[in-house]
Amino acid sequence: MLIHPTTGQLIKTDPTTYKPTAEVERHIIARDQHCQFPTCHMPAHRSDLDHIHPFNHTHPKAGGQTVPENLIALCRRHHGLKHRAGWTVQRDTTTGHTTWTAPTGHHYTTHPHSYAA
């Protein structure tokens, strides 16, 4: 953890901790805006932040880090679907496209919100 020397307040946490910082959480909510499962419109602020590459609780440095590139907003329903029903997800950090693969092998892609006017 990085702590402010005068106030003692937490400034940053290690990306090998499970819970994202408030800054990272705000970033994901602003970036994703809603659940990243195709056609789901549950607002990101009402969704879970899920590790795309699983966090390794036994050996945190060996698992997916708690950084924006490895986190996506998923509503509870689709978060559970990913972990219990065999769906997989990948996110292209360059384009922001999120690609879901169904247990049947079909692919579905979501596109990021553009803030460009």
| 31/88 Cα distance (integer angstroms) | 20
Count CB neighbours of 44 within 10 A: 22
Question: pTM for this one?
Answer: 0.82
The pLDDT value given to residue 70: 94
Residues 52-107: pLDDT tens digits? 999 988 888 888 899 999 999 999 999 999 988 889 999 998 889 999 999 999 99
Q: Name beta bridge partners: 108.
A: 100
Taking the alpha carbons of 94, 76, 14, 53 in that order, is the dihedral positive or negative? Answer: negative
Tracing tokens 């679907």 back to the chain, one arrives at 81
CA distance 79 to 84: 9
Where exactly are the structural domains of the chain?
A: 2-86
